[in-house]
Structure 1
Amino acid sequence: MTTALIPATVEEAESAWLAAQTATDAQERQRALLHPECVVVHAAVGHQHGVDDFLGYASRLGRTSQVDTYDVTVRRFGDTAVVSCLQEMRIAFVPELTPFVIQAAVTRVWVTDERGGWRLAHLQMARRLPPG
C-alpha cells in the first residue's frame, strides 16, 4: 500500500472500509486497510481471526452487494479511534438468489500507523436479527 492510499482521517478510513466490502477486489482493498496484527471477532459462533484467516473466510461467503451503516459514533483517543455502528450487509451466499440480509452491531478500532494513516486494528461484529 502506498502512502497516498493510506487514509489520512478516520472518516476516510471508514469510507474506504465500507467501499472495500462491495468492491470486486474486496480482499486486496480490505488487506490494505487492515493492521498486520488486526483481530476480527465475527460470525454467529464468534470466530476470532487474524488478517489472513478473516479474509479467507470472507472470500468464501459470497459477494457482498451492499453495506449500510446506522447510528455511527466515532470517539478519538489520541492515535486510536473507536467507531461503533449498526451495519446491514446484503450477501449473495448463492449467486443466483436474492442476497441474504445480515445485521450486526459493529465496533471498529482504528490506529495510526508509522506513516500517519489509519489502519483497522480490531473489528467486532455481533449479529442481530433483522427487524420485522
Structure 2
Amino acid sequence: MTTAPRAASPAEHAPTTVEEAEAAWLAAQTLSDPERTLRELMHPDCVVVHAAVGHIHGVDDFLAYAGRLGRTDRVDVHAMNVRHFANTSVVSCLQEMRIAFVPELTPFVIQAAVTRMWVKDQEGVLRLAHMQLARRLPPG
C-alpha cells in the first residue's frame, strides 16, 4: 500500500534552499527506512531516470526499486554544480553511494553522474521534480 504525498510546510523544516534540499535528500538515503522522508522531498509527478539500462520511474516505482537495493551506508557528492532559474534549480554532481546489498558484506560502491531538478511549490518549498543518474565505472 502506498501513501499519498504529504504536503510539508516551511514551518516543518521543509527545504527552501537548494542546499537544504540536497542535504535532506542525501541524509534521507542513509536512513534505515528512507521511503517516507524521500517521498516528502519528491514532487508527486517526479520522474527518475536511472540504472545502466535506463529505467524510467515515477515516485512509487522509484521508492520500491530503491527499497529493494539494500541499505545505503554513505553518500558522498563531488564536483557539485548548481544553476538557478526562477523557481527551478538544477544540481549536477558526481555521487558515490555505498550500498550494503548483503548486510554481512562490505558495502558495494556505486558511482554516478547525477542531475537533480528541484522546483518550488506554492509554499516556496523545494521538491525533487526530476533526477537522472548515469552510472560510471569506478576509478582505477
Query: Is TM-score (shorter-chain normalized) higher than 0.5?
Result: yes
- Percent sequence identity is 70
Distance 1:9 1:25 in 2: 24
Distance 2:37 2:125 in 1: 15
Work out the number of aligned pairs and report it. 132
Q: Aligned-residue CA RMSD in angstroms?
A: 0.8
Normalised TM-score (structure 2): 0.92
Gap regions ≥5 residues in structure 2: 1-5
* Paired residue secondary structure (1:70): strand
- Stretch deviating more after TM superposition (2-11 or 42-51): 2-11
Q: Residue 94 of structure 1 aligns to which amino acid in structure 2?
A: V
Partner of 1:76: 84
Partner of 1:96: 104
- Stretch deviating more after TM superposition (68-77 or 23-32): 23-32
Gap regions ≥5 residues in structure 1: none
| Mapping for residues 10-25 of structure 1, pairs under 5 Å | 10-25=18-33
**Runs of 4+ with >4 A deviation:** none
Distance 1:32 1:47 in 2: 22
Partner of 1:122: 130
